[in-house]
Amino acid sequence: MGLSKAIEVDKIECVGPYSVQVRTATVITETPDDESEPSKELSRGYHRHVLHPSDDWNAQNEEGEFVQDERVRKICEAVFTDDIKTRWTDEMNKKKS
């Protein structure tokens, strides 16, 4: 028997004009010694985070890998247009005043 851990982005949602919400699932699976038997999911946990137009969705870690999933980056590029970024900045500046 072996255990494996997989982290996968399983849900991406656009929430209003200024938010992309990302749900990541962490799945722990037990793999039997006999390969003819199916793997068994032991646990599944979720984490959510939200990206806004001012966030850096193209950030990379120390190894040069993107922090965000490719699908998330593409959605942010499509949704967060220059107009939306400007409107977001204006909204944030109004809240600071």
- Could you state, in order of their start, the residue ranges of all structural domains in the chain? 2-96
pTM: 0.83
**3 state SS of 94:** helix
Question: Do strands 19-31 and 2-15 pair parallel, antiparallel, or not at all (unpaired)?
Answer: antiparallel
- Sequence-distant contacts of 74-79: CB under 8 A, at least 24 apart: 75/12, 75/14, 75/20, 76/20, 76/51, 79/14, 79/20
**Residue 97 in this model has a pLDDT that exceeds 80:** no
The per-residue pLDDT for range 53-90, each reduced to its tens digit, is 999 999 999 999 999 999 999 999 999 999 999 999 99
**Can you give the pLDDT at residue 71?**
96
